[in-house]
Structure 1
């Protein structure tokens, strides 16, 4: 768990969702908000570092097949920066091949979920990453 950012004033943990599919993005954001998280949902990874700096998330939910810059590149960039090197990342992607999963995990993702996913599966992955005990 990232220990540097604190929860919001109301005690909620912050999650950034990067998902280009509008329906999925809204679905994830609504579900996570309903589940008690403070959510910032983005349609692409452009300016991700600036959004992270301003929002100070506890976790990043990241799609791999994004326009402009893909999720692999974003993950690699995050792991190369001191500030975001340890930010927990859960991949939620339509890429179902084992080599995609291995690549993302090797780049530093903590969990890899293949779409479509059950909400219970998403919830379990997030809680496993945020509270690994």
Structure 2
């Protein structure tokens, strides 16, 4: 798990990153922290609902190809929870087929980015889904 050293800083938006690939997880987390966000980065989503409850994020960055529980199931879980139904979700996945994108968006993701993701694409999507001051 990677957390921002600023996790108690006031005014920082909070993002949970669920990504099983260590390099991608650290890459996304480091860049988001550098960009001024507080980040909780997880290698899987087995206890996602508990992590969400404890961290209280403003956004979920979610991979689809995860061990044990795939990202589609996690997205359905988030959308079926009264507490997290409105949580913005950006899917970042290596699944490049239109069917995968369509399914994730139908399940409630606001954005779908295909890996490899350029940093400017990631931060642009974050700001589109999570406007400043919202």
With the shorter chain as reference, the TM-score category is over 0.9
So what's the TM-score if we normalise by structure 1?
0.92
Structure 2 match to 1:29: 29
Structure 2 match to 1:4: none
Query: By how many angstroms is 1:9 displaced?
Result: 4.2
Conserved 8 A contact 1:62-1:92: yes
Counterpart-to-counterpart distance in 1, 2:21 and 2:69: 15
Counterpart-to-counterpart distance in 2, 1:26 and 1:121: 17
Counterpart-to-counterpart distance in 1, 2:13 and 2:119: 18
So what's the TM-score if we normalise by structure 2?
0.91
Gaps of 5+ in 2: 1-6
Gaps of 5+ in 1: 1-6
Counterpart-to-counterpart distance in 2, 1:15 and 1:66: 18
Query: By how many angstroms is 1:10 displaced?
Result: 2.2
Counterpart-to-counterpart distance in 2, 1:8 and 1:77: 27
Counterpart-to-counterpart distance in 2, 1:92 and 1:18: 9
1:82-121 residue pairs with structure 2 within 5 A?
A: 82-121=82-121
Conserved 8 A contact 1:58-1:88: yes
Structure 2 match to 1:43: 43
Counterpart-to-counterpart distance in 1, 2:42 and 2:31: 15
Conserved 8 A contact 1:8-1:14: no
Query: By how many angstroms is 1:131 displaced?
Result: 1.7
How many residue pairs match? The answer is 127
Structure 2 match to 1:127: 127
- What SS does structure 2 have at the residue aligned with 1:53? helix
CA-to-aligned-CA distance 1:14-43 (integer Å, 9 cap, x gap): 000000000000000000000000000000
Conserved 8 A contact 1:79-1:85: yes
